[in-house]
Amino acid sequence: MFYSLFLISLLTNIGYTENNQCSFLNSKLNKYGIHIKIHDKDFIGLKLCQNLINNYCCPQIYEDKIQNATIIELYQLSEFYSINLYESLRRITVQLNETIRKLIESSRNETHSILQYNYNKIYNFYRSSINLFFNKLLMISYKNYQYDIKNTIEELFRNILRITVILNNNNTNKPILPSYLLCLWRNHPFGNRQYVIINQLEINLGKLFHLNELFKLSNELIQIISMDVTTDNHCIDSYMQLSYCNLCSGGKELPCLSNCINVIESCLINVSLINDVWINFIDSIENNAYFNGIEKTLSSIGISISNALLTLFNSDGIQNKDIIDQCGYIH
């Protein structure tokens, strides 16, 4: 009884295998409206697969149809993955820019709080200059960011110096000469405070600008890949070998890795072009230092400005003997 059941089971499996030996191929081709019917087992198989496998599922007469299916599949896959990748990158780019904006706004609020707490009586005089500084910081982009950061910081501290001098001049209506303010500035009334902020922002904000540029470059390369798929005869033949030769032998679609790499390097050159940029991009977004550095730098701006004012006041400000010797009095 056992042997009878075993024989029936074996015959059933053999019959199932024979009827379904081309099922993987047919399943794939059916998506493109192609149906292969094999009437004769002695047909000539696809020439492209003859030296690779015994392609008993692919008569040569269907080569044109399989070639068309290959071209359609190539374009569809390229378009599908390019769109998905592009949308993901676009979304992450938006999130990155929004994160930078939120960090800057948080720094603005923290700076106002620190200055209001430490310099309550004169804080309101500096308020508009602080807001102007952060508004300009929000507008800085990758292009010329080092120059823009330096100018924005210097403008802030020049405004703070000018306001401080005006506050010290409240007992007279005499105008303050620009040459006097310039002389004060050249004497570094805030020590090196503004240069520390400039240096830290250039390094850490620059990293995020660089990361943003990698996003843009990756997006551009993805668009190039999606629009410039190589479809010459040699490459289509190579795609067919990768996609169909194993299927033609009744197996699954498992192309040889080395062959796959060769095809990518020769026919999908645009895909290989993105490799270095992509590796750089992935390494960058996985580096927490990109974000930790800028968060620490932005959160310290308020303290740095407060300390800069303290440096100015502790050195007797415009009443400092060295400043008087070089710049004279306010008038």
- pLDDT tens for residues 146-202? 999 999 999 999 999 989 888 877 655 677 778 888 888 888 888 888 899 999 999
- 14: how many CB neighbours lie within 10 A of its CB? 10
Q: How many alpha carbons fall within 13 Å on the CB side of residue 156? A: 28
Whether the per-residue pLDDT at 325 is higher than 90: the answer is no
Helix (H, G, I), strand (E, B) or coil at 95: helix
DSSP string, 126-157: HHHHHHHHHHHHHH--STTHHHHHHHHHHHHH
Q: What is the reported pLDDT for 45?
A: 84
Whether the per-residue pLDDT at 14 is higher than 60: the answer is no
Whether the per-residue pLDDT at 16 is higher than 50: the answer is no
Q: What is the reported pLDDT for 131?
A: 96
Q: What is the reported pLDDT for 273?
A: 62
pLDDT class of 7 with cuts at 50, 70, 90: very low
**Average pLDDT score over the chain:** 78
Q: What is the reported pLDDT for 193?
A: 87
Q: What is the reported pLDDT for 199?
A: 94
| DSSP code at position 110 | H
CA 31 to chain centre: 35
Residue 45's beta-bridge partner residues?
A: 59
Instruction: Read off the pTM.
Output: 0.67
pLDDT class of 259 with cuts at 50, 70, 90: low
The contacts of residue 221 (CB under 8 Å, 6+ apart) are 270, 273, 274, 277
Judged by average pLDDT, the poorest of 50-54, 162-166, 224-228, 244-248 is 224-228
CA distances (Å), 329 to each of 165, 168, 177, 186, 312, in order?
A: 11, 11, 10, 15, 16
> What tokens were used for 222?
């993805």
pLDDT class of 117 with cuts at 50, 70, 90: very high
| Residue located via tokens 């379904």 | 20
Distance CA 260, CA 222 (A): 20
Percent share of the chain, pLDDT over 90: 21
